[in-house]
């Protein structure tokens, strides 16, 4: 089959997001407005929002999380863009990136010159056990959820398989979470913008205020090993290996490549995109790789005509710490079985030579599932434009990649962006 390419080039000329967190008492549409307004202000040369011709919204399950389906026209109307065509895209936790891909294809086809892509989710309306049940609907409900598998359990199975196959040290999962909290502490939009040390000290201070015995943790890793502070959720994954329950929204503006400089001084061009699907976890031949991620990455690299070594900034789908390690291998940054060693050696930190998840990732930034994929693009926008502040990747990054997974790998979308 010949190399895939877009009918015409597509560029990102604006990007914004809400702070990720828990918005008690705030409507989903108002969270979306926060992201929309930031997107408007990010367009360097300004534009008339009424020039937007269509809207694509990633939303996993407003139906179950808050009893509200049909999100796309609601969000579109709330920001004053009705009666433009508005489409909700659902691909589990990959909904945001799938929406971006559909918006990109709509512009590349020539149907539209300007589209808005958003992602939104409000998960905190439900108690934790019902959030867990809702997320489990992205698994195979007959052969997995019905017999008690939750997403922590499914990813724990992957983590166990990885430890067994490669002789990895389970300590590395704590190191990945620690690293992402270090990055998230530099991100004002992160839900958990705190280093593990800050969380540890806050726990000590709380105990002192209540007149309770003050824990004698010597350092962050002793804290992370304490089952009272960091209990196992599904062995070998602990609480701080898991992404949180989150609310949030993110929005980007796409235009045809020939219009990009009309709106932006530093547009980002979408040079590669791939998407693939796979069977549910129970029906796969491997638990230590996501075949859909490998296929999507290969498609994106081939379209972009680059290799993994050309990528400067990377946002991967670290819903659990093991997921970041597997993603780093599936994307070709490390050989199979070598990702954990790179994480252990600090290679994937901002101070390393292959920074991953400068935003803090889903682990620290937060994971409002329908918004996560678009939120990844917002981070790449800031990194490639040199606007990421204290978390800026050194060396003037020019190529960025996002990796967004639905379920446990039944869907994966990889997009590649370039600053020229």
Q: DSSP class of residue 25?
A: T
Which are the contacts of 32, defined by CB distance < 8 A and separation ≥ 6?
18, 75, 78, 79, 118, 120, 249, 251
367 catalytic per annotation: yes
Sheet holding 86-89, edge to edge: 86-89, 54-58, 114-122, 247-256, 10-17, 268-277, 411-419, 399-406, 313-315
List the catalytic residue out of 181, 183, 317, 367: 367
Task: Look at the block and give the residue holding tokens 């960025």.
Answer: 400
Residue 391 CA, chain-centre distance (Å), reads 17
If you count them, how many residues does the chain have?
A: 420
Cα 295 to Cα 273, 274, 280: the distances in Å are 11, 8, 16
DSSP assignment letter at 402? E
Euclidean distance between CA atoms 41 and 14, whole angstroms = 8
**What are the angstrom distances between the C-alpha of 34 and each of 17, 125, 193, 285, 362?**
7, 19, 19, 43, 20
Q: Facing residues of 415 across strands?
A: 273, 402
93, 242, 319, 412: which is the annotated catalytic residue? Answer: 93
- Listing DSSP states for 266-300 in one string gives S-EEEEEEEEEE---GGG-S-SSS-HHHHHHHHHH
End-to-end CA distance of the chain: 29
Kindly give, in sequence order, each residue whose CB lies less than 8 Å from that of residue 252, ignoring residues fewer than 6 positions away.
12, 14, 15, 16, 39, 100, 116, 117, 118, 374, 377, 378, 381
Evaluate whether 33 touches 46 at the Cβ level (below 8 Å). no
Please report the sign of the dihedral spanned by the C-alpha atoms of residue 215, residue 217, residue 221, residue 225.
negative
| 50 assigned to active site | no
Catalytic residues: 93, 367
């Amino acid at each position: 089959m010949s190399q895939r390419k877009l009918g015409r080039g597509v560029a990102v000329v604006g990007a914004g997001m809400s702070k990720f967190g828990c918005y008690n008492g705030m409507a989903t549409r108002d969270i979306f407005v926060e992201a929309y307004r930031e997107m408007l202000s990010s367009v360097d040369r300004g534009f008339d929002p009424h020039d937007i011709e269509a809207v694509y919204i990633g939303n996993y399950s407003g139906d179950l999380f808050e009893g509200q389906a049909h999100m796309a026209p609601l969000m579109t109307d709330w920001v004053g863009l009705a009666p433009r065509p508005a489409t909700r895209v659902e691909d589990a936790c990959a909904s945001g990136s799938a929406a971006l891909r559909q918006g990109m294809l709509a512009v590349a086809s020539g149907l539209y010159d300007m589209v808005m892509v958003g992602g939104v989710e409000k998960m905190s309306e439900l108690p934790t056990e019902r959030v867990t049940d809702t997320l489990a609907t992205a698994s195979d409900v007959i052969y997995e959820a019905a017999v008690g598998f939750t997403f922590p359990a499914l990813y724990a199975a992957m983590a166990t398989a990885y430890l067994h196959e490669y002789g990895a040290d389970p300590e590395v999962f704590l190191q990945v979470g620690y690293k992402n909290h270090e990055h998230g502490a530099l991100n004002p939009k992160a839900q958990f913008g705190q280093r593990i040390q800050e969380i540890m000290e806050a726990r000590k201070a709380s105990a002192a205020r209540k007149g309770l015995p003050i824990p004698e943790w010597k350092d962050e890793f002793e804290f992370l090993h304490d089952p009272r502070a960091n209990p196992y959720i599904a062995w070998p994954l602990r609480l701080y290996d898991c992404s949180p329950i989150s609310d949030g929204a993110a929005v980007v503006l796409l235009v045809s490549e020939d219009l990009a400089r009309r709106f932006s001084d530093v547009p980002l061009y979408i040079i590669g995109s791939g998407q693939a699907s796979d069977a549910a976890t129970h029906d796969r031949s491997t638990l230590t790789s996501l075949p859909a991620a490998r296929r999507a990455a290969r498609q994106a690299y081939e379209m972009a005509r680059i290799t993994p070594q050309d990528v400067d900034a990377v946002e991967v789908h670290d819903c659990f710490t093991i997921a970041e390690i597997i993603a780093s291998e599936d994307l070709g940054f490390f050989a199979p079985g070598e990702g954990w060693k790179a994480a252990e050696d600090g290679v994937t930190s901002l101070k390393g030579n292959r920074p991953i998840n400068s935003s803090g990732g889903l682990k620290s930034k937060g994971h409002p599932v329908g918004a996560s994929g678009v939120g990844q693009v917002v981070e790449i926008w800031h990194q490639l434009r040199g606007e990421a502040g204290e978390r800026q990747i050194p060396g003037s990054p020019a190529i960025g990649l996002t990796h967004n997974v639905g379920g446990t790998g039944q869907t994966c979308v990889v997009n590649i962006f370039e600053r020229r």
